[in-house]
Amino acid sequence: MDERRTLSVPGKPTAMSTDGFSSFSEDDRGDDDDVVPYSDDETDNELDSSTERLDDIEQSQIKEQPDDQRQAKNECTWKVKANDRNFYNQFIVTKYGCYKTSKYSGNAIRTYKYNLITFLPLNLMEQFKRAANAYFLILLILQAIPQISTLAWYTTFVPLLVVLGITAIKDLVDDIARHKMDKMINNRLCDVLQDGRFKSSRWKNIKVGDIVRLKRDDFIPADILLLSSSEPNSLCYVETAELDGETNLKFKMSLEVTDRLMKTEKELETFDALIDCEEPNNRLDKFIGTMYWRNQSYPVDANSILLRGCTVRNTETTHGIVIFAGADTKIMRNGGKTSFKRTKIDQLMNYMVYLIFMLLILFSTGLAIGHTFWQSEIGNFSRSWYLDDGINDPPTYRGFIAFWGYIIVMNTMVPISLYVSVEVIRMGQSYLINWDLQMYYAEKDTPAKARTTTLTEQLGQIEYIFSDKTGTLTQNIMAFKKCSINGTSYGDLCNAAGDKTDKVELVDFSWNSYADGNLVFYDHYLPQLIRSEKDPSTAEFFKLLALCHTVMVEENNGQLVYQAASPDEGALVTAARNFGYAFISRTQNAITISELGIKRTYEVLALLDFNSDRKRMSIILRDPEGKIKLYCKGADTMIYERLHPNNPIKDSTDEDLKVFADETLRTLCLSYKDISEGEFTKWNIRFQAASVSTSDRDAALDKVYEEIEKNLMLLGATAIEDRLQDGVPETIATLKQGDIKIWVLTGDKKETAENIGFSCQLLTNEMTLYDGEEINTMLTKMQGTHLTPREPTQNIFKSDENPAMIITGSWLNEILKEKKRRKKKWFKRPKTESEKKMQMEKNQIDEAAKEIRQKDFVDLACQCSAVICCRVTPKQKAMVVSLVKKYKKAITLAIGDGANDVNMIKTAHIGVGISGQEGMQAVMSSDYAFGQFRFLQRLLLVHGRWSYIRMCKFLKYFFYKNFAFTLVHFWYSFFNGFSAQTAYENWFITLYNVLYSSLPVLVVGVLDQDVTDKLSLRFPKLYIPGQKGSYFNFTKFFLSLFHGIIVSMIIFFVPYGAFLQTMGQDGEAPTDYQSFAVTTASSLIIAVNFQIALDTSYWTFVNAFSVLGSIVLYFAIMFDLHSAGIHILFPSGFTFTGAAPNALRQPYLWLTIILTVAICLLPVVAIRFMSRVVNPSETDKIQMNRKKYEIELLPKPGRPSTFRRNASVRRSAYAFSHQRGYADLISSGRSIHKKGQRSRPRIRTQTEETAGANTS
């Protein structure tokens, strides 16, 4: 992020500036859309949200306080004393009203939930928070009361024990994994200064104020203030991939005073500085503090801070003092709050369970009333003397007891195994994602990983995807592709004579000893032109690329190694190197390059660095002949405004820029200017004065820069490809066909984000682009005329346009009325009651207006075909996601790769992390992770869709089979005096959901496929029913209940009718209760298992085995439980002795079972056949034409298509760096001179790695 701030010379005592804390308001916001708004942490809970603004008098009183006093009271309240652990004993805070602990966190992190002592009680407490588990616990207690229950206690205890046990084992396995991860991180080793020597210590033992030593490739254990390093002037290179996803190295630089005096163990041991700094926060790129040492004060900023989560690179040894540890570190503060994510189906399922519970109470009440009536009219002693039980209870009391009896008997209406079955299915689906080889990224050895097992079916209902850009859509790798020199375009397929050709042949750069051999270029004429030295413009073009930059260079084993502040600069300097103009070395005042093998040294007179306002950089040089030249490169809009009126190639270069833009390349214009000695001398006086200005130095420098950067001569333009990850455009196009909206939320510049939008086909030429100012105007106008898009049919945009929105973070705050909260003031005048009331009313009005505004914005944005939010902070990313969740009630997915995406990932319903070279912070906070963005379409359209359909099938079948099973008791009650007598044997009731009907539906829930994975990707529209919740909703639920009720009637009344006045083959009537129970149970088991067979779309051996095996298992267990042997062992527990053998030897009963099953299933078959013929769904149509589509999907030979768009006036901007380059470092001279000759391992730059990948 580019922050305009006063520069100070490191190591010199100076007063701290308090800029950067001014409130963001309409007056503060400039016209630059690229300015990143306020820090996301400044609206966090760390600030006192109740702090009220002071009136103007009080504000003026505060302003009269000295700057350092205000800062001390408001900001720098975190104190760190070097080498003094006892210093922190005075900072004690009280938690929970009684527990006292240190204000400073230890460095150990803890993400696990249980330990050996707390696992059982805490886990059981969590499980019994579920309404179903608590309900069955109450039932178990009721079953222990003999007067109430007609069922044995084990009929509820066994299923409950199985459910609790499986869930506990799953939770235990997950927590053990967390323990292992925490242990691995906390036990990493680091050198800590103890007793005058560096000793190896575990990370968990590091404390604030400790002096640590880090070595090359070490992970940084805490947030550390850099004191010194083995590099010249204590530079330290760090990789921040885990923080921001960027793989180019960043440099940090210590204070000059500690660089000079903090090298040896003895010097470090005597270091006793006190550091006052800001409290722990989650702002990754901000740090304000002051170091007090030896009666001097030194300003400390983010340039000297090494953050936890980064890795030390290319630096042999680094020393630092721990500022923030453990939970106080910025990376941990960026983690956000972890909320328990629940799927939409979970919520539906809970409502349905509550509804079933109400039905259970209703049925039990009705049957209890029936029992009361029966007792008073039929079952009393005077009429039915044989029913006298010797207890003289009134009918109402007996009805009350019958109510609880029926609650127990029909408790299976509320399915106890539902939740555990859902967890088992989700776990199986998660393993299938983990095992999917088509989501394995071989280049980085990264498989797909489902990091949660509770959200799989939600993947089939995504409506909005929020994606980061850098490292997620792109590889953050730049490649030099084309250029325009003196009005001529180079980079297409051309032979050495300059004629265009269709032959694809790489240019051979072996003639150049400095070439790295990795540049992919197809125009053979340009190298020939350069080598011939016939075109001065070409030589000047590449000379500019080799000279005008802030790249650092090292030579290692004869190879040049570049370290650039951005991948763009690295790509340009490397391109010049391959074309014969190699940047070799630089000092504070000179740059040496090789021009076609001849080394030439240029004197650096001034370096005019890049920033987000200038969007260009310049360098003023004196060549070996003594001539002074200015070279300038920058965005075309900036360069064209400063060109000399007489520029003959202006129009032709502009045409080339349009062509480059059509190819979605990032463009950059190059220009130069000859400067006379007198002109430079006069300008240099003003430049030197601005360089040492103590007030608003940046503005003074920019003004001086403008004076010299005019009347430039245009040289040409470069075109760089910001390479997308493989398959990104195709993935986005496929997902959009599935009616999934994709929003890009990035911290990058507006031009860069727009360019990538076109590259990945998120934006097209046919779209009308609206920026923040236009959107703000539209919303204001709509609210002024009370025309809001809240009506479902209202469309704000024109009917014939295809709108897209590109909005920056500053405009986002303006539109959503998100103002920066002010820092808590140390002085506040108490307000009167009337003032408080007025303030409260004003706040309520503002909050209501803000909510209306936010809803209007979301509705407006959702009408756009594409939305890109650029220059946004991590908190703004999360805010956009939460607004869509809140106002659209849509299922969201966020995908990112860095720590700046963690908030967004945690806020969305589904969080996806891109793993691999970009770091692991986003992955650790995500629900799913894989190596490339393109795998997202398979995750959603294949696994997500399958998982959703499987879960819907499971739930519909589960409710059906439980109602079919339970309501047989209801019908039986009309024939047993409503006495709560069960229709089945107790052990059948116990094992029905556990063994007899569970396996087939679990197999369907894990393995079923309605269409193949290839057809799922071929027809993305199949995904739309999941977004609408078409496969499982209250309508489907009631149909399942109705189906279960009908089947329960068939299961009861068909055998009941068959048993009336029936004679068996042996002359005996099989009309006893036990034979009837066996017949109904057998009919039920066969019917429900055949029903799941009808519901199965994808048959495997496992499916067939589960269906037939369940039926066989039922008969095997039943014959065993009805045997005489087990009755002898447990006479009270097994009372159906011989019932199954006696009943099932009757052919008549087998015919009854077959008839019952046929009546249950044949109507289902007929209805489904008619539905498929008369009104087939999209899935039915694809299934019927499956073979034809599969033949179409076979690979066919064909030429690859190249993505090109029509002519466009759009410009794709050169990105430079997101921060200032290395100009300040170069100008200071601190990084130039080595402190001794020593060899260092070779550094591979981002550009080298890219080019290598290109070649391969």
735 Cβ contact list (under 8 Å, min separation 6): 465, 742, 936, 937, 940, 941, 1020
DSSP state of 952: H
Q: What is the spatial distance between Cα 151 and Cα 405, in angstroms, rounded to a whole number?
A: 8
Here the tokens at position 683 are 């300008």
Residues with catalytic annotation? 468
Asked whether the beta carbons of 472 and 895 are under 8 A apart, the reply is yes
**Can you tell me whether residue 1146 is helix, strand or coil?**
coil
Crossing angle of helices 131-143 and 344-377, rounded to 10°: 30
Name the residue among 999, 1022, 1088, 992 with its Cα closest to residue 428: 999
**Can you tell me whether residue 708 is helix, strand or coil?**
helix
Helix H or strand E encompassing 1158: helix 1147-1174
Strand partners for 867: 743, 805
538 Cβ contact list (under 8 Å, min separation 6): 485, 486, 526, 529, 530
Amino acid occupying residue 1054 = V
The HSE-up count of residue 920 (CA atoms within 13 Å, CB side) is 10
Q: List, in sequence order, the alpha helices (H) in 605-722.
A: 636-640, 650-662, 677-691, 697-708
Q: What is the spatial distance between Cα 795 and Cα 778, in angstroms, rounded to a whole number?
A: 12
Task: For 676-686, give one letter per residue: b (16+ CB within 10 A) or e.
Answer: eeeebeebeee
Task: For 1157-1174, give one letter per residue: b (16+ CB within 10 A) or e.
Answer: bebbbeeeeeeeeeeeee
Dihedral in degrees, nearest 10, Cα atoms 1045, 1048, 1050, 1055: -160
1068 Cβ contact list (under 8 Å, min separation 6): none
Helix H or strand E encompassing 584: strand 581-586
565 Cβ contact list (under 8 Å, min separation 6): 248, 550, 551, 1217, 1219, 1220, 1221, 1222
83 Cβ contact list (under 8 Å, min separation 6): 193, 209, 210, 211, 269, 271, 272
DSSP string of 323-365, one letter each residue: EE-GGGSHHHHTT--------HHHHHHHHHHHHHHHHHHHHHH
In three-state form (DSSP H/G/I as H, E/B as E, the rest C), the secondary structure along 809-824 is: HHHHHHHHCCCCCCCC
Q: What is the spatial distance between Cα 624 and Cα 611, in angstroms, rounded to a whole number?
A: 30
Amino acid occupying residue 230 = S
Gyration radius of the chain over CA positions: 37
Length of the chain: 1256
Name the residue among 161, 170, 176 with its Cα closest to residue 114: 176
**Can you tell me whether residue 874 is helix, strand or coil?**
helix
The CB density around residue 948, as the number of other CB atoms within 10 Å, is 29
The CB density around residue 1256, as the number of other CB atoms within 10 Å, is 7
Task: For 504-539, give one letter per residue: b (16+ CB within 10 A) or e.
Answer: eeebebeebebbbebbebbbbbbbbbbeeeeeeebb
Question: Strand 464-467 relative to strand 474-485: parallel, antiparallel, unpaired?
Answer: unpaired
**Could you tell me how many helices (H) and strands (E) the chain has, helices first?**
43, 35
Unique residue bearing structure tokens 């010199």:
12
